[in-house]
Amino acid sequence: MHLQSLTLLNFKNYHEVKLDFLSRINCFAGNNGSGKTNLLDAIYYLSFCKGFCNPSDIQNILFDEEFFVIQGQYKVNGNKDELYCAVKKGQRKVFKRNKKEYDRLADHIGFYPLVLIYPGDVHLIQGGSDERRKFVDGVIAQYNKEYLHRLLDYNKALLQRNILLKTFAEKRYFDEASLEIWDEQLKINGIYIFEERKSFFERFKPVFQKNHDELTGKAESIDIDYESQLKESDPGELLLQSRNKDRILQHTTTGIHKDNLVFLLNGQAMKKFGSQGQQKSYVIALKLAQFQFTKQLKGFNPILLFDDIFDKLDPRRVELLVRMVSENDFGQVFITDTHTERLVEILEKLKVKSRIFDIVYGEIAAIKEFG
């Protein structure tokens, strides 16, 4: 699978542009603020029906315009697929695959798998447990549609249960039967999600460890500890035991929405004891493992995006990383960088077809070919 072309109309700082891509390495070079990341964001939209930079669709419309359109032409198993995304002020988002509109955007997730590596990934280590759960859910959802639907159902039930708990407190009454309706939904879906997460980590950790060893030369030992209340007790029992506490606090205090991942380096918490360099290597290895794990389950290469991560790495590691993803194990790769010369120097050494687009304030200033 690869993205053959991308067309943008009124998207962020692009008025109108069409880009044709190679099936291997494509680079966007330019100063900060030129629009490099916006191109990656558009590609991300086509896989996830939303951007990674700004959760508000309306704010992605070019200033003084009323709508934006993103179109992508893909080649998948020898066939051509066309994706179309349109957002207009005051109207719902339209997303089409081969001219057929989706009833639910969630049904699109997983058809065009994609892995993004960007500076914000450090929040996986430094941020709260919700960031780490989102990572796990995002990986599993790209190969298991039932998981995504179960997760959506769980979150809806959780929201309704929390609303009910607040209503009980405000009106000073308690209806056990009403609460048990949502308890049952949380129990059924919670068990499924927990089992899938547990199974995921059993298979994912060896892939992650292999990638980390390759990046660091086996300099450190790493691990991931999956923490869940469901390891100790049935979710139905947990909800029953915490019912009085939930009534007092007016929200649900137990369940898979409290799961956490503890990233370990040499047996200690990476968040507390890992240096900046160790944390960067850890996160990149994590995302490359996501790529390879998804590839194994989908049977083809996801698209891989690197957004401005080279400034955070030493030159030797930058070259090692680009050389790694230029090999046959990887498919189509998109890279942004502020230094055209650095990209040229690396790509000239590689025997793979690659292309650099020079970006200047939302315009394509030049295109360079290699390989």
**Does residue 82 surpass a pLDDT of 80?**
yes
Residue reference for tokens 């389950």: 297
Quick one: pLDDT at residue 175? 92
The predicted-structure confidence for 83-96, as pLDDT tens digits, reads as follows: 999 999 999 999 99
Beta bridge partners of 80: 75
Cα 54 from Cα 52, distance rounded (Å): 6
Quick one: pLDDT at residue 214? 85
Per the model's pLDDT, the better-predicted residue between 223 and 312 turns out to be 223
HSE toward the beta carbon, residue 217, CA cutoff 13 A: 3
Cα 249 from Cα 162, distance rounded (Å): 10
Name the token pair of 227: 């923490």
Quick one: pLDDT at residue 327? 76
The predicted-structure confidence for 269-282, as pLDDT tens digits, reads as follows: 999 999 988 998 89
Quick one: pLDDT at residue 219? 84
Mean pLDDT computed over 7-33: 96
Which CATH number is correct for 129-297, 1.20.1260.10, 3.40.50.720, 3.10.620.30, 1.20.1050.90?
1.20.1050.90
The predicted-structure confidence for 35-72, as pLDDT tens digits, reads as follows: 999 999 999 999 999 999 988 999 999 999 999 999 99
Name the token pair of 261: 């991942």
Residue reference for tokens 């400034």: 311
- Please report, for the chain, the start and end positions of each structural domain, with discontinuous segments joined by +: 1-113+302-371, 129-297
Q: Are 17 and 53 in contact (CB under 8 A)?
A: no
The percent of residues above 90 in pLDDT, for the chain, comes to 82
Q: Are 357 and 26 in contact (CB under 8 A)?
A: yes
Q: Are 39 and 27 in contact (CB under 8 A)?
A: no
In this structure, how many other beta carbons lie within 10 angstroms of the beta carbon of residue 315? 11
Name the token pair of 69: 């359109």
- Among the residue ranges 188-202, 244-258, 317-331, the one predicted with the least confidence is 317-331
Domain 1-113+302-371 = CATH 3.40.50.300 = yes
Mean pLDDT computed over 151-166: 98
To the question of pTM greater than 0.85 for the whole model, the response is: yes
Pairing of strands 114-117, 333-337: unpaired
**Does residue 325 surpass a pLDDT of 90?**
no
Contacts (Cβ under 8 Å, ≥6 apart) of 258: 129, 228, 229
Quick one: pLDDT at residue 328? 66
